[in-house]
Chain A
Amino acid sequence: MGILELRDVTLELGGRRILNGLTVDFWEGHVHALVGPNGAGKSTLAGAIMGLPDYRHLRGEILLDGEPIQDLPVDERARRGITLAWQEPARFEGLRVDKFILAGAKDRSRETVERVLGRVGLDPDKYAARAVDKTLSGGERKRVELASILAMQPRVVLMDEPDSGIDVEALTRIFDALADFKEQGATVIMITHSQEVLKHAEHAFLLCDGRIIDKGAVGRIDDYFGDNCMNCGHTNVPTRNEMAAVSE
């Protein structure tokens, strides 16, 4: 049994079905990847698991440790151990990095701030008193967000495109954080379009048109990248055969 289970989850937004009867198990302590074309429903799935307001009106069940959580608000789900790293982290005018990190930290000490900032490659002496605002680059904010999640010691981490908008050095630090989550026994669910990121997963799901169309070892799902897309009948992204037909 997975730590987190989705049972026949369907979600419509603006009259369009985004998640289409999804049934998925995420295993405890595993790093899962969610891959698929734009519009497949990956970020929506993360939002639905986190309970973000726009994604609350779903049918089906989301179970954490076998308990339904689909009616719980975001903060209650977070207190039960689920959290989300946004693809584009929020900016907070005037809010100091150390206060942001400690807001949800298990251990609210200065040592925690130093430890987690150090882990994502940011010097605490330089960054702790800075604001989480536009003076930080996108990559720095992404690392600060990861630091705050490390301090929280969650059980389930949803990471929406952890590699977007960051340089190689920052990506290395993000992989370090990923290793820490795994060491803490957390379950990680990464949304990615990157083969490099996918390599750090142990298990992957291929999502298309709101459905899981394939799942298994990373090597198996990796073929998706080579083939552009699998033939699932989804009209959003042309399949390899369709692409070939057009070029002919």
Chain B
Amino acid sequence: MSSPTREQVETARELLASLGDLGAHVKGDDIAHLEVHGNEVVGAHLVPGLQVDVDELDDGIEAWIRVAKGVRLAKPVHMCFGMLPTEGLQRIVMHVEAEEDSFASVQAHCTFPNAVDITHKMDADVVIGPGATYEYFERHLHGAEGGVIVVPKTRVHVKEGGRFKTEFELIKGMAGVIDFDYEVDCDAFSTLDMIARIIGRGNDRIRINETGHLNGEGATAVLQSHLALRDNAFAEIYNTLTANAAHARGHVDCKEVVQGNAVAKAVPVVEVTHPLAHVTHEAAIGSVDSKQLQTLMSRGLDEDAATDLIIEGLLG
């Protein structure tokens, strides 16, 4: 990747500023980072063992990310995807390979502070090598208008003894439309940990599809989705976990707090095809717990403040 122009540097600065404190990550030579505005890489810095190649597309970027065999990145890799204008499309195509026994933790921030009509699509394929760990934390910061359509679709293959942990979080700004779809295949003795935390407001429409296939002996997975919905928000959550090998273990946990006219639908699917596998699930949808609310109100918090604190805990 070539050095950014002065204009690109300025755009990167503005993009990072919209992240508030989260945007302070780019300082330090030992911290890898990548900033993408629309279809343009406006900032980047790599560290040894991390290879990133990027092609700019008409409507976004295509990136190849490789963590070399045995490399363990001590500090998180920061990625910032976003758009400053009010309208547009950003498509991120990402191919990730974490080679054998490597370790990388990626903090991805997606920011659309002025969005009125923006679509952000991500199509990713991730291969996690034997004994490798790849963590991907995606945090969205949207504006107050909620004019963003977010469509992240990711396919992951975790090889023997590998670990994939991912968190998707949207708790600031209005979600708009989210169509989240992650599907993960787990080989023997691998670990999957997938969490989605979302607050829906206004007329937000949210669809979460988390799927894990425990195909190898001793593979384990936890799929969690915690949502808080207000106003006229609507959410449907599909958590699917299949266990197809001996000693595969998994748990599905879906919790949704619903207020106002919001509607939530949760469909946990567990499928076990091996007699020595074990999968559990729990799903709870309801209003804010009355005893929790009364406890905090008996400390002097009004109902809204008490509700916010309860939800902050649930999604925190």
B316 contact set on A, CB distance < 8 A: 94-96
Q: Do residues B292 and A94 form an inter-chain contact, with CB atoms below 8 A?
A: no
CB distance from A248 to the nearest CB of B (A): 45
B296 touching A94, Cβ below 8 Å: no
Taking the complex as formed, is A225 at the interface, i.e. its CB lies under 8 A from any CB of chain B? Answer: no
Chain A residues whose C-beta falls within 8 Å of the C-beta of B297 in the assembled complex: 73-75, 78
Neighbour of A95 across the interface among B291, B299, B303, B310, CB < 8 A: B310
Q: Residue B56 at the A interface, CB < 8 A?
A: no
Most A C-beta atoms less than 10 A away, residue of B297, B309, B310: B297
User: Is B7 on the interface with A (CB-CB < 8 A)?
Assistant: no
Please count how many residues in chain A sit with their CB below 8 Å of the partner chain's CB atoms. Answer: 30
Q: Does B261 contact A (CB under 8 A)?
A: no
Listed by A's residue number, 8 A-B pairs whose Cβ atoms lie within 8 Å are: A53-B294, A73-B297, A75-B306, A78-B298, A84-B298, A103-B301, A104-B300, A104-B301
For window 73-107 of A, CB contacts with B under 8 Å fall at: 73-75, 77-79, 82-84, 86, 89-96, 99, 103-104
**Which residues on the A side are within 8 Å of B301 (C-beta)?**
75, 78, 103-104
Q: Which 4 A-B pairs have the closest CB atoms?
A: A104-B299, A95-B313, A94-B313, A78-B300
Taking the closest CB of chain B, its distance from the CB of A165, in whole angstroms, is 16
Contact residues of B with A, CB < 8 Å? Answer: 255, 289-292, 294-303, 306, 309-310, 312-316
A52 within 8 Å of B (CB atoms): yes
A50 at the interface (CB under 8 A from B): yes
* CA of A53 to CA of B290, assembled, Å: 10
Query: Majority SS of interface residues in chain B?
Result: helix
Residues of chain A touching chain B, judged by Cβ–Cβ distance below 8 Å, are: 50, 52-53, 73-75, 77-79, 82-84, 86, 89-96, 99, 103-104, 131-132, 145, 148-149, 152
Contacts of A131 in B (CB 8 A): 313
Cα-based distance from A149 to B292 in the complex (angstroms): 15
Contact B295 A90 (CB under 8 A): yes
Per the bound structure, the CA–CA distance linking A99 and B296 in Å amounts to: 11
The residue on B at minimum CB distance from A73 is B297
Are A94 and B315 in contact (CB-based, < 8 A)? yes
* Residues of A close to B306: CB separation below 8 A: 75, 103
- Cα A11 to Cα B310 with chains together (Å): 31
A74 contacts B309, C-beta separation under 8 Å: no
Residues of B with C-beta under 8 A to A79: 300
In the docked arrangement, what's the CA distance between A99 and B294, Å?
A: 16
Find chain A residues with CB under 8 A from B292 CB.
90-92
| Cross-chain contact A92 with B299 (CB below 8 angstroms) | no
B291 touches A152 (CB 8 A): no
Q: Of B294, B313, B315, which contacts A92 at CB under 8 A?
A: B313
User: In the complex the two chains form, what is the Cα distance from A86 to B303 in whole Å?
Assistant: 18
Q: In whole angstroms, what is the CA distance A104 to B309 when docked?
A: 12
CA distance A50 to B298 in the complex (A): 7
Known: A92-B310, A95-B309. A52 touches B299 (CB 8 A): no
Knowing A94-B313, A103-B309, the reply to whether A75 touches B303 (Cβ < 8 A) is yes
Establish whether residues A152 and B310, one from each chain, have CB atoms under 8 Å apart when the complex forms. no
List chain B residues, Cβ under 8 A from A99.
309, 312-313
- Cα distance, A149 to B295, chains bound together (Å): 11
CB of A86 within 8 A of CB of B296, answer no
Whether B298 and A74, one on each chain, are in contact in the complex, defined by CB atoms closer than 8 angstroms, is yes
A145 and B302 CA atoms in complex are apart in Å by: 18
- Docked CA distance A184–B173 (Å): 43
Is B313 within 8 A of A93, CB to CB?
yes
A95 touches B312 (CB 8 A): yes
Q: How far is the CB of A151 from chain B (nearest CB, A)?
A: 9
- For the complex formed, measure the closest distance between the CB of A47 and the CB atoms of chain B, giving whole angstroms: 9
CA distance A73 to B306 in the complex (A): 14
Please indicate the chain A residues that have their CB under 8 angstroms from the CB of B313 in the complex: 92-96, 99, 131-132
* One of B289, B296, B303, B315 near A104 (C-beta < 8 A): B296
Which of B309, B310, B313, B316 is the most central at the interface, judged by chain A CB atoms within 10 Å of its CB? B313
Assuming the A-B contacts A53-B294, A92-B292, are A148 and B309 also in contact, with contact meaning beta carbons closer than 8 angstroms in the complex? no
B118 CB, min distance to chain A CBs, angstroms: 30
A-side contacts of B310, CB under 8 Å:
92, 95
Contacts A90-B289, A90-B291, A103-B309 known; A75 to B302 CB distance under 8 Å?
A: yes
Contacts of A132 in B (CB 8 A): 313
B226, chain A: closest CB distance, angstroms: 8
- Bound together, the chains give a CA A226 to CA B255 distance in angstroms of 49
